[in-house]
């Protein structure tokens, strides 16, 4: 269907400008949704990377550049260069920036993890880190993953540097340390949206029950939390979309937003990166479609982000020791895959009647 009169259709019949065919970004704008991707600054000098990024997305997140190990080469230094580069790119292309992540047990520098700080020292370091980083990016990063992956598969608070090894002084008190850092984050930047980001707890189960209970408790007691990030690194073919919908429904009913933060759907590959089962491509497309359609059903689901956009730079290869891959909407040559088309179709259908 011809959606609107489109001069670019007349001028050029290039990929994204065939009449009626929009980009993800245009369709997401129409649906009042943010569509984002994780980015690596090293690739911002590559023409195909940059043009695809600017054309298809209205939001970016640093895949690694705002993690402790990049930002904090040593205890006394903040190195914002990579993060700033991403912010500059986003601003030049009218994109929003999500920040990721202020508190995580992983990807911390050795000077931090191996120094045997006391809990008082750690509390001081973390408070200073959150304050400095959030103030540096105030007005530029609109939403932060304040805490990442703090719960285990049973829904218990994970052992970690920040919780109990030695922790920031709230060891043994469950989510109290999460509450503390959300309060620090709110003080650092009152305008930033504060998210708790979690993996493998997107449907219904013990982990998502624990996230739900935490959000409910925080909301009741006025702890500043604005959203939940559902990572959605999908590696199994049998995704329970209905359970994800039910989880989004109950979380948004508490008054928090949902961002799908790290979507990718990895498939089994052979040693040269080829698909083991070519038909998986269609199944993958349907999973992408289902996730986007589900988000669009809930007004509180305000962003969908993939973890990278081209298979050329997906983290899945190294993470799976090259047994999985092909996870993203664009292939290694930046050609759109069926997953891209499915996302585009789902976005162009727009938001369904609000629940
Ligand atoms: C990954 C990055 O993609 C890799 O480049 C890096 O080596 C390790 O971290 N959950 C998260 C992300 O919240 O930060 C992780 O990103 C993937 C899993």
Asked if residue 191 lies in contact with residue 138, where contact means CB atoms within 8 angstroms, the answer is: yes
pLDDT of residue 272: 87
Inter-CA distances, 148 with 22, 144, 211, 257, Å = 34, 10, 12, 16
> Do the Cβ atoms of 234 and 261 come closer than 8 Å?
no
CA of 227 to the centre of ligand 1 (A): 20
Does ligand 1 come within 6 angstroms of the Cβ of 148?
yes
Please report, for residues 8, 28, 53, 335, the alpha-carbon distance to residue 13 in angstroms, rounded to integers and kept in the order given: 8, 22, 20, 16
Distance 319 CA to ligand 1 centre (A): 9
Q: Whose CA is nearest to atom 15 of ligand 1?
A: 63
Tens of pLDDT along 151-205? 999 999 999 999 999 999 999 999 999 999 999 999 999 999 999 999 999 999 9
Which of the listed residues 232, 259, 307 should we mutate to test ligand 1's pocket, taking the one with most ligand atoms within 8 A of CB? 307
So which residues are the catalytic ones? 149, 262
| Domains of the chain and any CATH numbers | 24-349 (3.20.20.80)
The residue behind tokens 């609109």 is: 142
Which ligand 1 atom is at minimum distance from the Cα of 100?
14
Residue 352 exposed, middle or buried by CB count within 10 Å (0-12, 13-18, 19+): exposed
pLDDT value at residue 352: 76
Q: For ligand 1, say whether the CB of 345 is within 6 Å of any of its atoms.
A: no
315 ligand 1 Cβ < 6 A: yes
Ligand 1 atom with minimal separation from the 233 CA? 18
Task: Say which residues have a Cβ less than 8 Å from residue 174's Cβ, sequence separation at least 6.
Answer: 157
Task: Please tell me the distance between residue 309's alpha carbon and the centre of ligand 1 in angstroms.
Answer: 14
- Rounded distance from Cα 329 to ligand 1 centre (Å): 18
Q: d(Cα 36, Cα 306) in Å, to the nearest integer? A: 6
Pairing of strands 324-325, 267-268: antiparallel
Does residue 27 have its Cβ closer than 6 Å to ligand 1?
A: no
CB atoms within 10 A of CB 340: 20
Question: To test the ligand 1 pocket, which listed residue (319, 321, 325, 328) has its Cβ within 8 A of the most ligand atoms?
Answer: 319
Tell how far the Cα of 9 is from the centroid of ligand 1, in angstroms: 38
Best residue among 199, 262, 309, 318 to mutate for probing ligand 1's pocket (most ligand atoms within 8 Å of CB) is 262
Enter the pTM of the model.
0.94
CB-ligand 1 contact for 22 (6 Å cutoff): no
Question: How far is residue 109's CA from residue 271's CA, in Å, rounded to a whole number?
Answer: 32
User: Distance between CA atoms of 267 and 286, rounded to whole angstroms?
Assistant: 13
Q: Is the CB of 196 under 6 A from ligand 1?
A: no
Contact 295, 260 (CB under 8 A): yes
Report whether residue 63 contacts ligand 1, using a CB cutoff of 6 Å.
yes
149 CA closest ligand 1 atom index: 13
- Whole-angstrom distance, CA of residue 45 vs CA of residue 43: 5
d(CA 26, CA 294): 19
pLDDT under 50 in the chain at which residues?
A: 1-19, 355
- DSSP state letter for 313: G
Q: Which long-range contacts (CB under 8 A, 24 or more apart) does 188-191 make?
A: 188/130, 188/131, 188/134, 188/135, 188/138, 189/134, 189/135, 189/137, 189/138, 189/144, 191/138, 191/139, 191/142
Residue 184 in tokens: 């620090």
181 burial type by CB count under 10 A (0-12 exposed, 13-18 middle, 19+ buried): buried
CA 318 to ligand 1: nearest atom: 7
Q: Which helix (H) or strand (E) holds 178?
A: helix 176-188
Question: Rounded to whole angstroms, how far apart are CA atoms 166 and 181?
Answer: 16
């Amino acid at each position: 269907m011809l959606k609107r009169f489109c001069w670019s259709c007349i001028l050029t019949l290039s990929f994204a400008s065939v009449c009626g065919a929009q980009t993800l970004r245009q369709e997401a704008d129409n649906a009042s949704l943010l569509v984002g991707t994780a980015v690596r600054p090293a690739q911002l000098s590559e023409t195909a990377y940059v043009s695809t990024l600017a054309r298809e997305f209205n939001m970016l997140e640093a895949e690694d550049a705002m993690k402790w190990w990049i930002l904090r080469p040593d205890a006394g230094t903040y190195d914002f260069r990579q993060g700033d580069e991403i912010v500059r790119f986003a601003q030049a292309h009218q994109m929003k920036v999500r920040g990721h992540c202020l508190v995580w047990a992983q990807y911390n520098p050795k000077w931090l993890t191996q120094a045997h700080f006391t809990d008082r020292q750690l509390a001081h370091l973390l408070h200073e880190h959150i304050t400095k980083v959030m103030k540096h990016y105030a007005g530029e990063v609109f939403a932060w993953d304040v805490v990442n992956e703090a719960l285990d598969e049973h829904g218990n608070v994970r052992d970690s540097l920040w919780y109990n090894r030695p922790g920031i002084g709230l060891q043994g008190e469950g989510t109290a340390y999460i509450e503390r850092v959300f309060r620090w984050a709110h003080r650092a930047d009152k305008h930033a949206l504060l998210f708790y980001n979690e993996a493998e707890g997107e449907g219904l189960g013990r982990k998502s029950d624990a996230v739900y209970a935490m959000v409910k408790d925080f909301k009741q007691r006025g702890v500043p939390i604005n959203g939940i990030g559902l990572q959605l690194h999908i590696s199994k073919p049998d995704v329970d979309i209905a359970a994800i919908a039910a989880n989004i429904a109950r979380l948004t009913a508490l008054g928090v937003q949902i961002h799908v933060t790290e979507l990718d759907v990895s498939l089994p590959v052979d040693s040269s990166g080829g698909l083991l089962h070519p038909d998986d491509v269609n199944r993958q497309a349907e999973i992408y479609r289902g996730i986007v359609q589900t988000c669009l059903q809930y007004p509180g689901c305000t962003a969908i982000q993939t973890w990278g956009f081209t298979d050329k730079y997906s983290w899945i290869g190294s993470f799976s020791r090259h047994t999985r891959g092909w996870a993203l909407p664009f292939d290694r040559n930046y050609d759109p895959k069926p997953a891209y088309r499915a996302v585009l179709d789902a976005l162009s259908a727009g938001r369904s009647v609000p629940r």
